[in-house]
Structures are given as structure tokens and as C-alpha cells.
Structure 1
Amino acid sequence: MREFRDALPPELPARTEIIDGNLIISASDRTVQKFFESLSPDIPLRTEIIDGNLIVSPFGTPRHARIARILSRALIPVEDANGWESFDGNVDICIEGPRDAMAPDYCIVPLDAPLWGGREILSSGVIMVAEVVSPGSTRTDHLVKPGVYAGCGIPIMMIIDPVSSPPAVTVLSDPEDGAYRTAVHAELGKPVRIPDPVDFDLDTSIFL
């Protein structure tokens, strides 16, 4: 708790609790959104709004960041061919409707992706997101975020899970009614297909 307190403003809104190593701040939607918008972009913590709660967690390990960067490099040919750009872990996505704020480990967007203010990319402009699972994010990455991303129509979500047994990659696509209809699962080391609009065969051995 101390590492969160040292980095966050002294006055936290409403109820706070620690779950799986993450600080959960609960209050009214307006209070949480206002508090999130007041945070400095240089804060040394990862902050997201999920289901109206502000989730504050430490940044991932070097391995976590390395996997996101490896994915980014692998998909550079796709970006160049389509005039897209990518971000690995340093932008927020505003989920249109509830205005939740997500911080994916990786995302692909068009160069002219719409913005919400100066800090967030609107979810309607996002082509693909990816999350790298850590011990404290297993439930959120596998069970919560797919529904959020599918619900706002992001075409593809990839989950790279180096902490599962065996380590694996899951590619989710075809969002409809708040869920992805198609899921392709592969152990790390085996190829996996990323469907349209990305349209790329990924060799997941690059993550080993």
C-alpha cells in the first residue's frame, strides 16, 4: 500500500482496497473519472478505470515490457503496409459509452485515430489491443478486459500469458454483444493467426 500512497495524491476518493497486489479505488463514476483525469501522466503507476473502479497497479517486470516490445516489432510490417501506428504500454484508451479508461500493453491504431482530450485514444479508432498477463492481472486480463474491449467493438484482442502452465497466446476476434465470438489458442512456440484487419501469421516462439 505504501508504494501506492507515495505516488498518488494524499486524498484518495471513497473506499480503497488491495486485491491481487492492485489498489482498487471505488466511488461514484464521476468522482473516479475526475480523480483519474487529475493524475499526472508521469505518475509511476499503471492506472485504469474498469467497471467504474479506478485500478492502480505497479508497472510490469522487464520481461513483461520486453514481450510487449517484441510484439510491437513483429507487427511493424503490418503497420507500415496499412499506414497504422502502435503503442506498447504508454497510452490510454477511452472506452466510449462508460468512459472507462484502459491501458493496454500494446495497441494498433490508425495515424488519425480520434482522441478524447489530449490523453486518451477513443476506442472506436482502435484496431487491436494486447495484454501481457502478470501474476496480479490473470483474472482481469482473461475474464474482465475481453468483455470491455469486445463491448466497444475493438476487432481483435490478444492475450499473451507467460505465467500460465503452459505459457500460451490467445487471439480473440469477431466482437458481438459484448463478447468475442472467435478464440484461437496456441502454446508459446507455436504459430497463431491474427485475423483481418491485421491479417498476420505470428510465430509465438519470439516470446520465449
Structure 2
Amino acid sequence: MSPLGTPEHGWIAADLHDALLPVRRQHGWRGSVGGVSVCIEGPREPVAPDYVLSPADCPRWGDLELMSSGVILVAEVVSPSSVMRDRKEKPYLYAQGHVPIYLLIDTLSSPQVVRVHHNIQRGTYRSTTTVDMGTPIMLPDPVNLELDTSIFKG
């Protein structure tokens, strides 16, 4: 089990949850800050993203895990213990699991950045957009929302 993140780590995920409220309400989607496990289809690898956006009727693996192909967006907030996994391994893993959008909030990079991976083709994200934290970034369909990343600055 990974160590818990700092309070700021949790606050960033909660701020994302709040920012997605209009889209969640519009579509009847559910958001979860931590505590939700996602089953990556194929390797059947369980992961626990910092934030998960899914439809209320997202398919499950058993009672506890959401199936990755039913999830809309996952987000990770980079922490010292997860730098390589969040930056290098998870884009591949989430694309393999057919998660349409992987949002990476990297407060440890210099400068701090927010990155959106999307457009899966043959098990790989083909499109990546990176902005300096504080710059708006577009979350593509099905979310279709311009996200103000200044909410993540401490």
C-alpha cells in the first residue's frame, strides 16, 4: 500500500471534484476523491487513482472495483513516492484499460504542469496536451470542459 499523500495532495483532488461539478450534474456522473479502485481490463490490475469520474452505472469487477473501460476520467496528483509510476507507467496502463482521459497534475515538476492524455489508438494515448499550472486546459469529449488549472496552485 502506498503512503498517504500530503493534505495538499488531497485538496488538489477535491478541487478537481468541485471543478467538475457542473459536468457531473449535467450528465449524472459520479466523482470520487480516492477510495475507489479501478480494474484495468486485460491485465486485471487494480489501481486506486486520486480521482475517478464515472457514470453511476459504471460496470464493475465484483462489488468493489469499477471496470476501466466504463470510467470517463482518472486523475493522479504526483507525489514523491509516485513520480515514475504516475508520469511513465500510468499513461500506458490507463490507455490499455481504455480510460478515455488521463489527467496528470504534477506539482513536483519545474515548472508545475497539468497534462491531459487522450485519444486512444491501439492501446496508447495518441494526444497529450501539457500546460503550465495556472493556464486553462481543455478536457476533451466526453467531458468537454475548459479546466482552470490555477485552482491547483497552493
TM-score (norm. length: structure 1): 0.72
Runs of 4+ aligned residues of structure 1 deviating over 4 Å after TM superposition are: none
1:71 and 2:16 matched: yes
Calculate percent identity across the aligned residue pairs.
49
Q: Which runs of 5+ in 2 are unaligned?
A: none
Q: Measure, in 1, the Cα distance between the counterparts of 2:122 and 2:88.
A: 16
What does residue 123 of structure 2 align with?
178
CA offsets per residue over residues 20-47 of structure 1, 9 Å max, x none?
A: xxxxxxxxxxxxxxxxxxxxxxxxxxxx
Higher CA-based Rg: 1
| 1:75 Cα deviation from its structure 2 partner | 0.2
* Count of residue pairs brought into register by the alignment: 153
1:194 and 2:139 matched: yes
CA offsets per residue over residues 67-98 of structure 1, 9 Å max, x none?
A: 00000000010010011111111100011121
What does residue 69 of structure 2 align with?
124
User: Which of 154, 169, 186 does residue 99 from structure 2 map onto?
Assistant: 154
CA offsets per residue over residues 128-154 of structure 1, 9 Å max, x none?
A: 000000112111001001001001111
What does residue 168 of structure 1 align with?
113
User: Which of 39, 50, 56 does residue 111 from structure 1 map onto?
Assistant: 56
| 1:118 Cα deviation from its structure 2 partner | 1.3
Q: Measure, in 2, the Cα distance between the counterparts of 1:111 and 1:57.
A: 27
| 1:178 Cα deviation from its structure 2 partner | 2.3
1:92 and 2:28 matched: no
Any idea what SS the aligned residue of 2:103 has? Answer: strand
CA offsets per residue over residues 123-181 of structure 1, 9 Å max, x none?
A: 12100000000112111001001001001111000000011101110001001222110
TM-score (norm. length: structure 2): 0.97
Q: Which runs of 5+ in 1 are unaligned?
A: 1-55
The question of whether the paired residues in 1 share the 8 Å contact of 2:117 and 2:127 is answered with yes
Q: Measure, in 1, the Cα distance between the counterparts of 2:131 and 2:50.
A: 19
